[in-house]
């Protein structure tokens, strides 16, 4: 007997209408008003308790564009105070499945210290990332050291992936835009797959009721960078391959999924406004919001699963799960780092979430929430632009 095609499996089942679903909801509520189940997320965003295909006027396109899967890089913080200890930690992490070590530098490294820090790393298999957490930081100088190291190793730089957290509007009183221009030119020539410019959205992350504001400020900041760099002779086509967005992920599961999806929609509109020929997809790095962490490491370990799923469903390109003891301002341990990375291994190796493009697509609730957040954020973004852009807006 031939097996029926999968699309015929439901032919004997009727498709209930929204009215039939609503009647069932009313019955189950036993007199409680359905309206009490609505969620007033923001002043202009109200969410119904459920959505039905009858309300969907279109089928949203997959937000991950031309990607063939939903794979993301497993990141891990490596705090660098002692270079030798940091090297041991990164090699331990790589052996445990880390794909994107993120070095948090506590002091400026000499060239020989940088070489010692990354000793034993095969740059062809992982991406390598840096942030400078000390005064008088110079991303341009670090970039030049990095290029020098790669040439010394005789590594072909065309396929080297990585980043330096360089957000001039955030970390400097006077944004070092000339350094940024010089660095982007180096990347364009030497490191085509390296990201130097970062739009750090973490300062905009707050209450869940301010999510559209977070999105509006994020794309406004990105747009401001494109405008100022264009004034300095760098086209969007040159800048975009070296740009990443760093986004804080909170604990509101569906909102965080929709926020990340909405961000891609919004940024694509910004790129269209610049009439840029976008060859490189938007690159999003997901970090757990520091506000989401408690002093209880066991609670943080439990939360980590749903927070990581929010990032993955939302389509992050790289994800860093915080060690569960970070809120205690303690150094991470081999255990806390292993548990953090294993959350991501489970999502890939057991849940196969890396194989499904835009997993939230087709969820009427998430699609509606994505659309409402994007619409509200775009209105606020337009207000920011009318006021002169990100640097001049006093909202």
- pLDDT tens, residue by residue, 308-345: 999 999 999 999 999 999 888 888 899 999 999 999 99
Short-list 183, 172, 91, 173, CA closest to 145: 183
Short-list 336, 354, 242, 257, CA closest to 296: 336
Looking at the chain, the number of H-run helices and the number of E-run strands are: 12, 10
Phi, psi at 155, each rounded to 5°: -95, 130
Q: Is the pLDDT of residue 277 over 90?
A: no
Which whole number is the average pLDDT over 293-316? 94
Residue 293 Rama label (left phi>0; alpha psi -120 to 50; beta):
beta
Report residue 157 as tokens: 């730089």
List, by residue range, all CATH 3.20.20.240 domains of the chain. 73-386
**Range in 56-70, 155-169, 215-229, 304-318 the model is least confident about:** 56-70
CB atoms within 10 A of CB 221: 22
CATH number of 73-386: 3.20.20.240
Residue 78 Rama label (left phi>0; alpha psi -120 to 50; beta):
beta
* Cα three-residue angle 102-245-191, rounded to 5 degrees: 65
Q: Is the pLDDT of residue 217 over 70?
A: yes
| pLDDT band of 61, cuts 50, 70, 90 | low
- pLDDT tens, residue by residue, 149-182: 999 998 888 999 999 999 999 989 999 999 999 9
Burial state string for 90-111 with b = 16 or more CB within 10 A and e = fewer than 16: bbebbeeebbbbbbbbeebbee
Task: Round to whole Å and give the CA distance between 395 and 393.
Answer: 6
pTM for the whole structure: 0.92
Short-list 107, 147, 267, 157, CA closest to 201: 267
| pLDDT band of 1, cuts 50, 70, 90 | very low
**Range in 41-45, 100-104, 231-235 the model is least confident about:** 41-45
Computed over every residue of the chain, the mean pLDDT equals 91
Short-list 202, 223, 174, 200, CA closest to 386: 223
């Amino acid at each position: 007997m031939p097996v029926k095609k999968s699309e015929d499996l439901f032919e004997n089942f009727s498709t209930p209408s929204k009215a039939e679903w609503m009647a069932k909801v009313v019955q189950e509520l036993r007199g409680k008003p359905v309206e009490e189940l609505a969620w007033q997320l923001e002043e202009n965003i109200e969410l119904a308790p459920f959505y039905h295909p009858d309300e969907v006027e279109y089928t949203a396109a997959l937000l991950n564009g031309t990607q063939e899967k939903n794979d993301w890089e497993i990141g891990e913080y490596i705090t660098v105070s002692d270079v030798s200890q940091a090297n041991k930690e990164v090699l331990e992490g790589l052996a445990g499945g880390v794909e994107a070590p993120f070095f948090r530098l506590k002091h400026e490294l000499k060239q020989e210290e940088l070489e010692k820090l990354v000793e034993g790393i095969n740059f062809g298999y992982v991406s390598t990332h840096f942030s400078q957490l000390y005064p008088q930081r110079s991303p341009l100088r670090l970039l030049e050291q990095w290029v020098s190291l790669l040439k010394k190793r005789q590594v072909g730089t065309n396929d080297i992936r990585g980043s330096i957290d360089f957000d001039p509007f955030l970390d400097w009183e006077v944004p070092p835009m000339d350094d940024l221009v010089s660095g982007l030119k180096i990347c364009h020539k030497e490191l085509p797959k390296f990201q130097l410019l970062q739009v750090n959205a973490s300062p905009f992350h707050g209450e869940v009721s301010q999510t559209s504001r977070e999105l509006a400020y994020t794309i406004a900041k990105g747009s401001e960078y494109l405008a100022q760099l264009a004034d300095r002779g760098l086209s969007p086509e040159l800048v975009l391959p070296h740009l990443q967005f760093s986004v804080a992920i909170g604990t509101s599961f569906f909102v965080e999924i929709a926020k990340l999806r909405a961000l891609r929609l919004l940024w694509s509109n910004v790129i269209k406004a610049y009439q840029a020929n976008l060859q490189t997809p938007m690159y999003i790095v997901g970090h757990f919001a520091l506000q989401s962490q408690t002093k209880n490491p066991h609670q943080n370990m439990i939360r980590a699963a749903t927070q990581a799923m929010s990032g993955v469903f939302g389509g992050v390109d790289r994800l860093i799960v915080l060690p569960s003891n970070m809120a205690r301002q303690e150094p991470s341990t081999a255990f806390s780092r292993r548990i953090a990375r294993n959350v991501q291994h489970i999502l890939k190796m057991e849940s196969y979430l890396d194989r499904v493009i835009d997993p939230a697509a087709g969820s009427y609730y998430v699609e509606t929430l994505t659309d409402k957040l994007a619409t509200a954020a775009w209105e606020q973004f337009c207000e920011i632009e009318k006021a002169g852009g990100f640097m001049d807006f006093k909202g």
